[in-house]
Amino acid sequence: MGKVRRSGYVLEWFIGDHEPRHVHVYDTKHRLIGRLDVNRLVGAEGWTPDRKLVSSSRL
């Protein structure tokens, strides 16, 4: 498992997690906001990530 803080969000990922490659995005109170597809930098399940999150992601 890995965890990093970017632009006021906490990004968490798990080694060997299912495809597509993604990170779990939490707010600072550790509430799940959504999942971010790291190959395309788009939200999963219809979630639209904040522009500042996508521009600051270097995964």
Which pLDDT does position 51 carry in this prediction? 84
Dump pLDDT digits (tens) for 9-42: 999 999 888 888 899 999 989 999 999 998 888 8
> What is the domain extent for residue 20?
2-56
- 8 A C-beta contact, residue 36 and residue 43: yes
Within the chain, strands assigned E span: 2-6, 9-13, 22-26, 32-37, 42-43
What's the domain count of the chain?
A: 1
Q: pTM higher than 0.85, yes or no?
A: no
CA distance 32 to 18: 18
- 8 A C-beta contact, residue 51 and residue 5: no
Contacts of 5 (CB under 8 A, 6+ apart): 11
Task: Tell whether the model's pLDDT for residue 3 goes beyond 90.
Answer: yes
